[in-house]
Amino acid sequence: MKQLSILIPLVVTFILSYSQDAQNQTKSNTSQPETIPVGKGPDALFLTPNERYLYVANVEDSFISVIDTRTDKVVQTIDGTDYPWGFTRLGETNQVAVSGWDKGVDVIDFITHKIVRSKRYEQNLGGIVSTKNGKILFVIATDGNKVLKIDAESLEIIDKYATGNGPDGVGISKDDSKVYVTNTKDGTISIINLKTKTSMVIATGGKPELIHYNYDHSLLFISNFFENKIHILDTGTDKIVHEISGLDGPEEAVLSKSEETLYVVNFNNSKVYSYDAKTYEKLPQEFTVGAKPIGVVSAVDDSKLYVSNYGDNSVAVILLHSQSKLSDRDTEREILVKFKASVNESQIAQLASELGLQQIKTIAALRLRVFKITSKKSLKEVITACENQPFVEYAEPNQKVGTKLSRLRN
């Protein structure tokens, strides 16, 4: 639940308990995870494609915290984004757009961690999303009951679309033809056809808020704070196909990178619940975090969860696998490398020779290659060396390539 204490006074009362009910059969991790101090009111999170850096939107502050996921420490702040609200990566570029409550959009290069362009608007801004190619932004004008269509390069407004009252979150369909907006004051979701500018409304009741999605945007996961539900909406049929209930002030509902697990943050009881992403059955694992959590992201090959604790000005770090399981990855000895469009074959061949890599699979259309490590270098050493190359977009331990490809957007 977005809260700006300097703008929207709101009293939230809740009781936080760390004792385990003897009748409860759920395996709850009641020990407090490690935390990373950040700015005021940490909220939305953005993980860079190589999973090396985590951006934290401090919604009651004027900067973004940059966390190195290998050390779990803040290594930099990006100043000048007043009350940063939400993130969206611009296609396959190395840029991420950030909406700010204080009427601004900033575009950041996540390689250099620097703002490359900015623009201010007439109204306060909320949720943000982009088209598949990253050329168009859709940003909520919260006090104007509108969605702004913005050119991502010039940041000029191209068009506007009416919403309901109290718009907050925004999502986009798989084919970029429709946007979805949560109307917190109406208890509805607006579905806007971008070509015809017509809209339909789904009545949910309560207070629908945040919107997240699976990799190809065929499904949206929409939190409803007052109804204590997650609405799962099919963007092909524009129907709610499932609901997860039994929550306690749900905020973000986000899939793991593998898309096997759905994590749901509960603002009121300071817990993160986990669900099977296919059946939506609740899993035994749940995690106790800090006060008033909002954002969640699964990182480092689904070995960690990061959770923004709005009430504690911190980010919780939850280890999902034991160190022995993490070290086992080094024996797999395969890496997946995505190259930039500018790369040539001689550069790839030289890199493979220097690091002792044997190419075993190529997906040319996506600039992806799988290599087996034949040298004595560790997996970590090889990945670091690859990522230091200017022609490499990212490198990571190889998973099931078929699974990964099924999640890549066409």
Residues 174 and 219: their CA atoms lie apart, in Å, by 8
Buried b (16+ CB within 10 A) or exposed e, 228-252: bbbbbbebeeeebeeebeebebbbb
- Residues 6 or more apart whose CB falls under 8 angstroms from that of 11 comprise none
- Give the pLDDT band of residue 31 (cuts 50, 70, 90): low
Is 25's pLDDT higher than 60? no
Residues 113 and 255: their CA atoms lie apart, in Å, by 25
CATH code of 27-321, in short, is 2.130.10.10
Is 402's pLDDT higher than 80? no
- Collect contacts of 354-361 with beta carbons under 8 A, ≥24 apart: 354/385, 355/382, 355/385, 355/386, 357/382, 360/334, 361/401
Predicted confidence (pLDDT) per residue in 88-130, tens digit: 999 999 999 999 999 999 999 999 999 999 999 999 999 999 9
Q: How far from 2 is each of 208, 225, 370, CA to CA, in Å?
A: 12, 11, 41
Predicted confidence (pLDDT) per residue in 325-361, tens digit: 444 444 458 899 999 999 999 999 999 999 999 999 8
Q: In the prediction, which pLDDT does 16 show?
A: 36
Residues 122 and 138: their CA atoms lie apart, in Å, by 15
- Strand ranges across the sheet with 157-162: 125-130, 136-141, 146-151, 157-162
Summary mean pLDDT of the chain = 88
Is 156's pLDDT higher than 60? yes
Residues 243 and 228: their CA atoms lie apart, in Å, by 10
Domain boundaries along the sequence of the chain: 27-321, 329-400
Q: Domain 329-400: what homologous superfamily?
A: Peptidase S8 propeptide/proteinase inhibitor I9 (3.30.70.80)
Is 262's pLDDT higher than 50? yes
Q: How many CA atoms lie within 13 A of 331 on its CB side?
A: 5
Report which of residues 153 and 365 the model is more confident about: 153
